[in-house]
Each structure stands twice: as C-alpha cells, then as structure tokens.
Amino acid sequence: MLSQYLYISTAPNLSREEVDSILEASARNNPERGITGLLLYNGRNFLQLLEGEESALVALMVRIGNDPRHTGVSTLDRRKIEQRACPGWAMKRVIIAEKVAIRREQLERDLPEGLSEETRRIILNFATLN
C-alpha cells in the first residue's frame, strides 16, 4: 500500500544552487527508495509532495526534518493512495511563475492529473499566495 505526504516548511532566501542541490539529492536517492513527488519553492517556503511505501517515507521525513536548510516542517496531509500521482518523477520541480496573473493557469497545466481535488487545491493556494 502506498502513502502520500504533503508538507510545508520555511526557508527564507535559499539560493538557486541550494534548491538545485536538494533536487540533485532527490534524483540520486529517491529512485532506489521508490519515492516520487514534486517540490515547490516560493522564495520563503517549500511545499513538497512525497509518495511511496510508508516506511521509506517515514525515514525520508526524518532526514528532511533534520535538514538545516529549512525549519518548521509541518505536515498538511498524509493519506493512503491507490496509485502514484507522480509516477515518472524522482522529484519534479514545479515552477511558480513570477506573474501572479498567470500562476494559476500555468499550475493547472503543470500539476499532475492524478492528484486528489483537495491536494490540488492546497498546492494551488500555496503557489498563488504572494
């Protein structure tokens, strides 16, 4: 049985390189652990969706919770899922457009279809906040 975790955290002013290095670690580690997901960064906060076997997710959440690059990791949702929303992505970086007016439209296009309505709404709200 697969699980899906959704959390937010705080990381003011991380450089592009630091965010890239998080994505590199994800690409390096997640495939062998059967973890997939997506990551958004708005310059102040992360939102990450993680999916995989419960034991792999619990172990990763411990590592992520101890990572000094962010604080205040707060789980918004944990649920069992029948199938992955992000099967092809070790960790997809979802870009938030500069222009507020086009953010929603762009995200509607970029977010995977298999997300629940509720999860999709949380991600859209996060990404369209200013």
Ligand X SMILES: Cc1cc2nc3c(=O)[nH]c(=O)nc-3n(C[C@H](O)[C@H](O)[C@H](O)COP(=O)(O)O)c2cc1C
Residue numbers of the site for ligand X (CB under 6 A)? Answer: 9, 22, 25-26, 28-30, 46, 48, 60, 63-64, 67, 69-70, 91
CB of 70 to ligand X, least distance (A): 5
- State which residue, 64 or 127, has the beta carbon closest to ligand X: 64
Q: E-assigned strands of 11-120?
A: 36-41, 45-53, 71-81, 92-93
Tell me the helices (H) and strands (E) count for the chain, helix number first. 4, 5
Residue for token pair 């699980």: 3
CB of 107 to ligand X, least distance (A): 19
- State which residue, 31 or 100, has the beta carbon closest to ligand X: 31
CB of 19 to ligand X, least distance (A): 8
CB of 67 to ligand X, least distance (A): 3
Cα Rg of the chain (Å, integer) = 14
- State which residue, 48 or 119, has the beta carbon closest to ligand X: 48
Sheet holding 45-53, edge to edge: 71-81, 2-10, 45-53, 36-41, 92-93
Q: E-assigned strands of 13-84?
A: 36-41, 45-53, 71-81
- State which residue, 17 or 117, has the beta carbon closest to ligand X: 17
